[in-house]
C-alpha cells in the first residue's frame, strides 16, 4: 500500500489545527463558529450530537463546500470557522484537511464526539437533516 490511514492522519495532523473539547465548548457562543458533525446519520440518531451543530455527511462534504457543485450548501460560504467532528477524531481530521484545502477556515475536534460526551458536555437529539 502506497499510503495508509496512519500516514494520512499524521499528514493531516501536521496541517490542521485541532481543538480540545474545552476550547470548542468555550468557542460555541461565538457566532463566527460552526460545529460540523460529519458522522453517519445512524450515529446521530443513536448518540445525539453537539447542540447547534450542522450535520454534513462525510460522503457529501466536498460537494457541499464547493459553490460550483449542484449540491452546494450556503452554510459553507459564510466565511466562518468550521470545527469538524466525528466519533473519535479521525474522520474529522481528514475532513478538516480537505475543507482547509478547499479554502475554509477548518479545525478538527480532538477526540471527537466521544471525548465531548466523556467530558460531560451537553448532547442534543438529532433535529434536522443536512
Residue 130, domain member (yes or no): no
Number of structural domains found in the chain:
1
74-110 pLDDT, tens digit each: 999 999 999 999 999 999 999 999 999 999 999 999 9
Residue 54, domain member (yes or no): yes
Residue 129, domain member (yes or no): no
Digit-by-digit pLDDT tens for the chain (130 residues) are 799 999 999 999 999 999 999 999 999 899 999 999 999 999 999 999 999 999 999 999 999 999 999 999 999 999 999 999 999 999 999 999 999 999 999 999 999 999 999 999 999 987 554 4
How many Å apart are CA 109 and CA 49, to the nearest integer?
Answer: 13
Q: For residue 85, what is the domain's CATH number? A: 3.40.250.10
Per the listing, cell 480537505 goes with 98
* DSSP secondary structure, 40-86, as one string: -HHHHHHH-B-TTPEE--GGGHHHHH-TTSTT--GGGGS--EEEEE-
The pTM of the full predicted model, rounded to 2 decimals, is 0.93
| Containing structural domain, residue 28 | 5-119
Residue 9, domain member (yes or no): yes
Torsional sign, CA 60, 65, 68, 73? positive
Supply the DSSP symbol for 121: -
Residue 41, domain member (yes or no): yes
Residue 19, domain member (yes or no): yes
Amino acid at each position: 500500500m502506497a499510503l495508509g490511514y496512519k500516514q494520512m492522519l499524521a499528514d493531516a495532523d501536521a496541517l490542521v489545527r485541532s481543538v480540545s473539547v474545552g476550547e470548542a465548548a468555550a468557542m460555541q457562543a461565538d457566532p463566527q463558529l460552526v460545529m460540523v458533525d460529519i458522522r453517519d446519520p445512524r450515529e446521530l440518531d443513536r448518540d445525539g450530537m453537539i447542540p447547534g451543530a450542522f450535520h454534513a455527511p462525510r460522503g457529501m462534504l466536498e460537494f457541499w463546500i464547493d459553490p460550483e457543485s449542484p449540491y452546494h450548501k450556503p452554510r459553507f460560504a459564510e466565511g466562518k470557522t468550521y470545527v469538524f467532528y466525528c466519533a473519535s477524531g479521525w474522520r474529522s481530521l481528514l475532513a478538516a484537511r480537505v475543507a482547509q484545502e478547499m479554502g475554509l477556515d477548518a479545525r478538527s475536534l480532538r477526540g471527537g464526539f466521544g471525548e465531548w460526551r466523556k467530558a460531560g458536555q451537553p448532547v442534543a437529539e438529532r433535529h434536522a437533516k443536512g
